[in-house]
Structure 1
Amino acid sequence: MKTFAKGFGIAFLGGALIIGVSPLLFSSSLLENSNALLSSIVPEQKPRQKTPEELIAEARARSSDIRALYMTADVASDPGAGAARLRNAIIDIAERTEINAVVMDVKEVCGPDYDEENLKKLLGDLKAKNIWAIARIVAFKDASQIKAHPEWYLTRKAPKAVREGGCKGKQHLVAKGAEASRIFWRDNTGGYWLDPASSPAHEYLITFSKHMIDMGFDELQFDYVRFPSDGDVSQALYPTWDRTTPRYDIMRSFFTNLRDSLKAYKPDIILSADIFGYVAAQHEDPTIGQRLSDIVKTFDYVSFMVYPSHYYSGLYLAANPARGLPAVSYTVAEARTNPDVTVGRSLIVAQDYFDFVASTTQATTSPARTETIARIRPWLEDFFHEADRLAGRPWGAQKVRLQIDAAQDSTGHGWMLWNAANVYATGALKEE
């Protein structure tokens, strides 16, 4: 009897569970069927893709206050312990200070210089940390195509001894091809130059730039976008340039082609150009083909290299009554002694000119241009500290901070610090 009762109890309990659960199972099944039916009637909503205009506006806004450190190609891509230490140190600075971007070499005077796998990993790390990634691309000074495409290069009639350039240890970057029998023209540092008028050379640079976009860079920064300036340039023979067309017409054509091609490829890619510091005050240098009136209409940012130590002829600026600023007449030493004035006044002159170009463009165009005028984001120096210290000039963190504050007060769109050794005066940077 006890056994029967025990068995009956278990059976009764099991039945109760079955009876109790069945409605739940039925309800769940009905709900699933209802959801399936609803999904067939109302498709699942996918997140709305942003329009090109929205992406452009976002990139423009995010790039408007970039504070960057420079990183060499070897530090960016080399897997070695030394490179990793410097690379990680720069990323650490960006994570704990006001720095929010890194400019890294991907193509230098020796040619394209990066390890694709390692660079992709670095770009992924930067993206995860919300650090803006800028690819620095040296344009027409490029030794890598002398064998594959010698017809793109400047030559000369008779050989001339020049010091060996820094590419001797990077022969692996030279594209394969027959040994060229030409006598190449080389600048004072032994550098080789592509003809800025060469259409195939343009396409080579554009193709490379598109690959950097595919790699994931937020911005492409172009350096050496000019004719050569150092060496016996009068002896250079150009395979394409006719020596009659003004150099600035050649460069303007390249700027326009570069912008149109890359913006069509990725409308929200940001493009910037590195320009000699003295061009900020002179507005043009016809000997190298650079005119600000052309550059401000084709790039998003212009980066004047306003290094106080590089004003080899001094700094001479007229008074600016509209801003209440006196005339400046600095020797080379005085320009280095007053880094804040050297940087600030150079950028103010450039900004006033940019504003003038913007106002005249809007006034003379019907309908008004929709394209934006470039903003200024300068290169500042974070080097030569020992020489400055010995001379009693501002040095180290003090010198760097004086430049930063001057740049912020003059243009307000950020700045970049250059140190070829990848070591920075962190005491100049604000903690965040």
Structure 2
Amino acid sequence: DKNNDKNNDKNEIIASKIWLNPYSREVWRYNVDLAIEAAMLGFDEIQLDYIRFPAFVNLDRYNLAVAPADSKVEIINDFISYAKTRLGEYGIPLSIDVFGLTTSGSDLGIGQDFSSLAAKVDYISPMVYPSHYAPGAYGLAVPEKEPYFTIFKSMQDAKRELDGRSEKLRPWLQDFSLRHVYGVKEVRDQIKAAKALGLDSWLLWNPSSRYTWQAFRRNDLVAKKQQVSVVTDRGKGDQNVKVDTRKSNAEKDESKERVTDRT
């Protein structure tokens, strides 16, 4: 009955009644068994998602048995430690996805403590999609329209939380559109922001697996050499200058000049 399924909590954004119990050791074993099976099949990394409690909901509807002494943060941390220990026998890296706002130091009530989780895994990937930030976040009127600054500020927070362990940081970036259309510029702006903070690793997400490949094309695939004539001040007359306008990457122009005397 749809009427009986309605929940009057205005903060609730999840409609499903099904959520695996984070307190259940049986659930832990089942998930890690699947990860081990993937490792044995040859996958070179295990990445865990949804390692959290339900967000923005009344947990009573999920009938999650809670041990009084265990906080949500402790339970999620314990599960990751368990997964890391078992997967360690197979020598395979373990990475996790977390909510973007956890980089600011709060577990958001879902048990994801950014700093302590990062200490237990090889890579941590906060989902810092600009479209998921509320107006005013990071002092931005509409973060979705400011992809560079949203990523830059969120990664600043993340690096501060990691305190020197930023090699573990590999953010999820946005390659999909919600209220604001995302294209080449928006995707590149996010990548530029990550690189500006020394992050060379990142992941892109598009729920339909339709990615903006143009954002990754090197300019040297399409650029043409230009030939111009200049006069030097060395009294040798005209010189032929070939300017190679190809770029080594999409962000930085590394033009090279080759000068040949014609005197």
- Cα distance in 2 between the residues matched to 1:160 and 1:253: 36
Instruction: Say whether residues 1:161 and 2:5 are aligned partners.
Output: yes
Look up the equivalent residue of 2:25 and give its one-letter code: S
TM-score by length of 2: 0.74
Deviations 1:247-276 (A, max 9, x none): 111111111111011012x12x11111111
For residues 194-273 of structure 1, what are the structure 2 equivalents within 5 Å? 194-239=20-65, 241-264=66-89, 266-267=90-91, 269-273=92-96
Identity of aligned residues (%): 31
Aligned 8 A contact 2:17 2:62 in 1 = no
User: Any residues of structure 2 matched to 1:390-409 within 5 Å, and which?
Assistant: 395-409=182-196
* Matches of 2:6 and 2:200, distance apart in 1: 40
Match of 1:383 in 2: 176
Instruction: Quickly say closer, same or farther: Cα 1:272–1:403, change in 2 above 3 A.
Output: same
| SS of 2:199 mapped into structure 1 | coil
Q: Is the 8 A contact 1:375 1:413 kept in 2?
A: no
Q: Distance in 2 between matches of 1:212 and 1:162?
A: 38
Structure 1 position 411, deviation (Å): 4.1
In structure 2, the residue matched to 1:279 is 102
Q: Residue 205 of structure 2: which of 412, 418, 423 is its match?
A: 418
Encode CA deviations 1:81-131: one digit per residue, 9 max, x unaligned: xxxxxxxxxxxxxxxxxxxxxxxxxxxxxxxxxxxxxxxxxxxxxxxxxxx
SS in 1 for 2:5: coil
Contact 2:18–2:62 under 8 Å retained in 1: no
1:345 aligns with 2:138: no
Q: What SS does the corresponding residue of 1:274 show, helix, strand or coil?
A: strand
Q: What is the match of residue 305 of structure 1? A: 127
1:191 deviates by: 5.0
Does residue 290 of structure 1 match 2:112?
yes
- Runs of 4+ aligned structure 1 residues displaced above 6 Å come to none
Q: What is the alpha-carbon distance in structure 1 between the residues aligned to residue 34 and residue 118 of structure 2?
A: 23
Q: Partners of 1:291 and 1:427 in 2: how far apart?
A: 36
TM-score normalised to structure 1 length: 0.46
Instruction: Give yes or no for contact 1:187–1:232 (8 Å, CA) kept in 2.
Output: no
Question: What is the CA-CA distance between 1:236 and the residue it aligns to?
Answer: 3.4
Higher helix share: 1
Secondary structure at the counterpart of residue 414 of structure 1: coil
How many angstroms does 1:424 deviate by?
1.2
In the aligned structure 2, how far is the partner of 1:252 from the partner of 1:308?
27
- Decide which structure has the larger Cα Rg and report it: 1
CA deviation map 1:325-359 (0-9, x unaligned): xxxx113x2x1221101001100111122126x5x
* Distance (Å, rounded) in 1 between the aligned partners of 2:201 and 2:17: 31
Please give the root-mean-square deviation of Cα atoms over the aligned residues, in Å: 2.4
Aligned length: 213
Partner SS, residue 197 of structure 1:
coil
Note if contact 1:297-1:374 (Cα within 8 Å) is conserved in structure 2: no
Aligned partners of 1:286, 1:384: CA distance in 2, in Å?
Answer: 25
Amino acid at match of 2:19: W
Matched residue of 2:163: which SS?
helix
Query: Partners of 1:162 and 1:254 in 2: how far apart?
Result: 32
Give the CA deviation at 1:412: 1.7
C-alpha distance in 2, partners of 1:234/1:348?
36
Whole-angstrom distance in 2 between the partners of 1:413 and 1:348: 14
Consecutive unaligned residues in structure 1, runs of 5 or more:
1-158, 164-185, 317-328, 359-372, 390-394
Q: Residue 273 of structure 1 aligns to a residue in which SS?
A: strand
CA distance in 1, matches of 2:152, 2:216: 18
Given that 1:162 and 1:188 are in contact with CA atoms closer than 8 Å, whether structure 2 keeps it comes out as no
Residues 299 and 374, structure 1, Cα contact 8 Å, conserved in 2:
no
**Which shows bigger deviation, 291-300 or 339-348?**
291-300
* Structure-2 separation of matches of 1:275 and 1:161: 28
TM-superposed deviation, 1:428: 0.7
